[in-house]
């Protein structure tokens, strides 16, 4: 809390914990959430080597599971040392060890974490904080300037807590209480066809179901070492990567951001202990670009390093067949594709144990505990009819709790018999493998691993003083999956090009949402009823 003492909420820790270990390596009192289980085993082990098990490595060094528990307990103390009953608590942290400590601390306090991204501009950060009704934001000092203007506008509705103040002033809270597994645990903001980002709410139970399914299907073990290069404000980076590793007692190396050369340098020149690599298709395209530019000797070293990996996983967007093949040729790795979304975590996955069972373009079979079906336009279940396409519907303990504050929208996304309607069209082959055909809505763009709302981007672009009308579409791209493209009608006497539009857009939306292609037209294509014809808009960029 900026400028205030933390002593009111900090607890005095006793000289020893009930397990007999010193409190610096032992925090018994965190709630018995499944995500903490492996960490507690290490922290309370009678084996000194086990108590030094590393959870996370970042640019600041190595951090043990015992330290992660201790710092989470400090965060909990500052949040009042009580069950917050699923109250929203926002966090703005870089990709580092501190991110995990804050997230775990919020969970230990019974709160629901609302991850904010340093990539988001001020307007979006304010929307997420206000929409989630988060009254507290835990912030890394390096990102404080992004929040101060928002705090001035929100006033006493928003309190900023500095992570450095927590570590310096708080003592771990080792009191204990039970947390209801069905109370809110995590907000993931995703864009929908309405154009307004929605807060997808997951409970501790839905997160546990998602992570446990991946733990079983992908064979996670404490010996695994994940190179984490994903953003930490969506399901891929938070749940599929970081939380899965910590659940399993594995070690995560966290990069502050994706850097193709740094990834290759770590794989080639660092210890040969990375076992899992996860990314979105755009990242793999960039890695292949860097690989192609290497001298032959370096290429050989890269091939030797990647052949030691246990899994390379791609998700968040369809992996182009060309990248699948090029990655296989360059690295000897058969990419594992899977399918999921903010509302369900992961639902489908290719076989982790048998690379030969993976097919190009397939996203595999349902994960343990997840049911998937295909329903055609006539309402008929065509799941068992190879080659027939239908709407992908999902049921299981992994499915989200609600869109925050939108009960009618939540209800609308489920069938009368309880299946979640994904909005994706899929098909299934004779081997039982599923394939994604595309979105039902043309207003959803999948670019660089992000699911974007064309309507949201259009709404922002209409504020540009030169733009009178606009249509945003996704144009196929090997690098990005889809590239955000905007067709615009200009106001009388105005001019505009993409180099002018980009910096203007960056001030109003995350860079990955900003248009990369621009076409100026006299009028947007519409049908006889005046409805925008987005297929015709896409043709403008062919």
Looking up tokens 């501190």, which residue turns up?
A: 98
Residue ranges covered by each domain of the chain: 23-179, 219-333, 444-539
The architecture CATH gives domain 219-333? 3-Layer(aba) Sandwich (3.40)
Burial class (CB within 10 angstroms; exposed 0-12, middle 13-18, buried 19+) of 469: middle
For 444-539, CATH number out of 3.40.50.300, 1.20.20.10, 3.40.50.410, 3.30.300.30 equals 3.30.300.30
User: Which of 481, 192, 484, 189 minimizes the C-alpha distance to 337?
Assistant: 481
Token pair listed for 19: 């397990």
CA distance 385 to 441: 24
DSSP secondary structure letters along 342-405: TTTEEEEE--SS-GGG--TTEEEEEPTTEEEEEE-TTS-B-TTSTT-EEEEEEEETTS--EETT
Predicted structure pTM score = 0.85
Query: What φ, ψ does residue 227 adopt, rounded to 5°?
Result: -95, 105
CA 159 centroid distance within chain: 25
Which long-range contacts link 487-493 to residues 24+ away (Cβ below 8 Å)? Answer: 487/518, 487/519, 487/520, 487/521, 487/524, 487/537, 487/540, 487/541, 488/461, 488/518, 488/519, 488/520, 488/521, 489/520, 489/521, 489/522, 489/523, 489/524, 490/466, 490/520, 491/465, 491/466, 491/467
pLDDT of residue 14: 31
* Distance (Å) of CA 14 to CA 65, 120, 166, 175, 192: 20, 41, 19, 11, 49
Assign domain 23-179 to a CATH class. alpha beta
pLDDT of residue 530: 59
Domains 219-333 and 444-539 share a fold: no
266, 227 contact by CB (below 8 A): yes
Burial class (CB within 10 angstroms; exposed 0-12, middle 13-18, buried 19+) of 15: exposed
Query: What φ, ψ does residue 335 adopt, rounded to 5°?
Result: -60, 135
- Tell how many helices (H) and how many strands (E) occur in the chain: 18, 25
List of residues 6+ apart from 344 with CB closer than 8 A? 210, 370, 394, 396, 398, 399, 400, 420, 422
pLDDT of residue 19: 44
58, 232 contact by CB (below 8 A): no
How confident is the prediction along the chain (542 residues), in pLDDT tens digits per residue?
A: 443 323 233 333 333 343 444 433 345 567 789 999 999 999 989 999 899 999 999 999 999 999 999 999 999 999 988 899 999 999 999 999 999 999 999 999 999 999 999 989 999 999 999 999 999 999 999 999 999 999 999 988 899 999 988 877 667 877 778 899 999 999 999 864 455 789 999 999 999 999 999 999 999 999 999 999 999 999 999 999 999 999 999 999 999 999 999 999 999 999 999 999 999 988 998 999 999 999 999 999 999 999 999 999 999 888 888 889 999 999 999 999 999 999 999 999 999 999 999 999 999 999 999 999 999 999 999 999 999 999 999 999 999 999 999 999 999 999 999 999 999 989 999 999 999 987 777 778 889 888 788 878 988 898 899 998 899 999 999 888 899 999 999 999 999 999 999 999 999 999 999 999 999 999 999 865 557 888 899 999 98
pLDDT of residue 319: 85
CA distance 237 to 289: 23
CA distance 199 to 187: 6
């Amino acid at each position: 809390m900026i400028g205030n003492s933390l002593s009111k909420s900090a607890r005095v820790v006793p000289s020893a914990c009930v397990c007999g270990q010193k409190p610096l390596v032992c925090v018994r009192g965190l709630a018995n959430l499944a995500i903490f289980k492996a960490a507690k085993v290490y922290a309370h082990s009678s084996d000194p080597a086990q108590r030094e098990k590393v959870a996370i490595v970042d640019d600041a060094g190595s951090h043990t599971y015992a330290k992660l528990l201790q710092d989470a307990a400090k965060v909990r103390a500052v949040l009042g040392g009580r069950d917050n009953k699923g109250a929203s608590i926002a966090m703005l942290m870089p990709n580092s060890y501190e991110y995990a400590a804050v997230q775990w601390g919020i969970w230990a306090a019974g709160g629901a974490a609302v991850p904010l991204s340093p990539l988001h501009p001020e307007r979006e950060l304010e929307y997420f904080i206000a929409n989630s009704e988060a009254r507290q934001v835990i912030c890394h000092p390096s990102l404080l300037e992004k929040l101060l203007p928002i705090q001035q506008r929100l006033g006493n509705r928003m309190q900023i807590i500095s992570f450095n103040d927590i570590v310096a002033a708080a003592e771990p809270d080792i009191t204990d209480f039970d947390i209801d597994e069905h109370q809110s645990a995590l907000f993931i903001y995703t864009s929908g066809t309405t154009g307004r980002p929605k807060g997808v709410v997951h409970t501790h139970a839905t997160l546990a179901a998602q992570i446990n399914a991946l733990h079983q299907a992908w064979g996670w073990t404490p010996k695994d070492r994940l190179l984490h290069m994903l953003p930490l404000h969506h399901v891929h980076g938070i749940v599929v990567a970081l939380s899965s590793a910590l659940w399993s007692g594995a070690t995560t190396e966290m990069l502050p951001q994706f850097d193709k050369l740094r990834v290759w340098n770590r794989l080639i020149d660092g210890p040969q202990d990375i076992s899992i690599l996860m990314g979105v298709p755009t990242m793999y395209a960039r890695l292949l670009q860097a690989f192609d530019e290497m001298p032959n000797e370096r290429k050989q070293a890269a091939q030797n390093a990647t052949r030691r990996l246990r899994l390379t996983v791609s998700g968040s967007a369809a992996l182009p067949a060309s990248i699948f093949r090029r990655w296989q040729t360059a690295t000897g790795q058969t990419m594992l594709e899977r399918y999921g979304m903010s509302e369900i975590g992961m639902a489908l996955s290719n076989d982790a144990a048998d690379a030969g069972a993976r097919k190009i373009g397939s996203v595999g079979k349902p994960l343990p505990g997840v049911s998937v079906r295909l329903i055609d336009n006539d309402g008929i279940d065509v799941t068992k009819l190879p080659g027939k396409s239908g709407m992908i519907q999902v049921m299981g303990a992994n499915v989200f709790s609600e869109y925050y504050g939108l009960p009618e929208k939540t209800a609308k996304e489920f069938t009368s018999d309880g299946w979640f309607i994904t909005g994706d069209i899929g098909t299934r082959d004779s081997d039982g493998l599923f394939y994604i055909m595309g979105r039902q809505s043309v207003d959803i763009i999948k670019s660089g691993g992000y699911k974007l709302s064309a309507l949201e981007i259009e709404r922002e672009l209409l504020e540009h003083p030169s733009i009178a009308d606009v249509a945003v579409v996704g144009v196929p791209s090997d690098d990005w999956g889809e590239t955000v493209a905007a067709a615009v009608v200009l106001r009388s006497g105005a001019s505009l090009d993409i180099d002018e539009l980009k910096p203007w857009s960056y001030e109003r939306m995350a860079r990955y949402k900003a248009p990369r292609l621009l076409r100026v037209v006299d009028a947007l294509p519409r049908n006889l009823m005046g409805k925008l014809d987005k297929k015709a808009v896409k043709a403008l960029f062919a």
